[in-house]
């Protein structure tokens, strides 16, 4: 059984792992920190949150409720009454383009703002 895994297979796995880590690091450094978060329920914008101000927000629908927490320029779902709590376990988000989603409640939080990139070729 040991014959099916060769030295070249191990090298390929290590190269792919290193490439993945490098891509992840580059994306973390390139994405700017956002300063606002748009909250959508049923694909409708219900609130834009200023992420520079620490606060707690409640979003209640007929499907349930979510508590959104803003702290130190980061945002997360602190509590939700959905059965799986995936949105709560998504953790803190702060970079433009990142999202937090609660599928049972149809809630989406999308980070906006941050520095804009200038077009250097016209």
Q: Both 98 and 45 in a single domain?
A: yes
Q: Both 88 and 40 in a single domain?
A: yes
Residue 1: pLDDT band by 50, 70, 90 thresholds? very low
pTM above 0.75, yes or no: no
Q: Both 70 and 41 in a single domain?
A: yes
* Residue of 55, 36, 31 lying closest to 109 (CA atoms): 36
75 found inside a domain: yes
Q: Both 56 and 105 in a single domain?
A: yes
pLDDT tens digits along 15-64: 999 999 998 888 777 777 789 999 999 999 999 999 999 999 999 999 99
Q: How many domains are contained in the chain?
A: 2
Range of the domain at 82: 36-112
Q: What is the DSSP letter of 9?
A: H
Burial class (CB in 10 A: 0-12, 13-18, 19+), 34: buried
Q: Both 72 and 17 in a single domain?
A: no
Distance CA 57, CA 109 (A): 12
């Amino acid at each position: 059984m040991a014959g099916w895994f060769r030295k070249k297979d191990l090298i390929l796995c290590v190269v792919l792992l290193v490439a993945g880590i490098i891509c992840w690091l580059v994306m973390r450094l390139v994405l700017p920190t956002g300063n606002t978060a748009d909250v959508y329920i049923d694909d409708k914008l219900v609130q834009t949150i200023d992420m520079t101000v620490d606060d707690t927000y409640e979003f209640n629908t007929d499907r349930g409720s979510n508590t959104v927490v803003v702290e130190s320029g980061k945002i997360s779902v602190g509590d939700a009454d959905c059965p799986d709590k995936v949105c709560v376990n998504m953790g803190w988000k702060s970079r433009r383009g990142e999202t937090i989603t609660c599928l049972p409640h149809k809630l989406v939080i999308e980070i906006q703002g941050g520095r804009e990139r200038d077009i250097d070729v016209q």
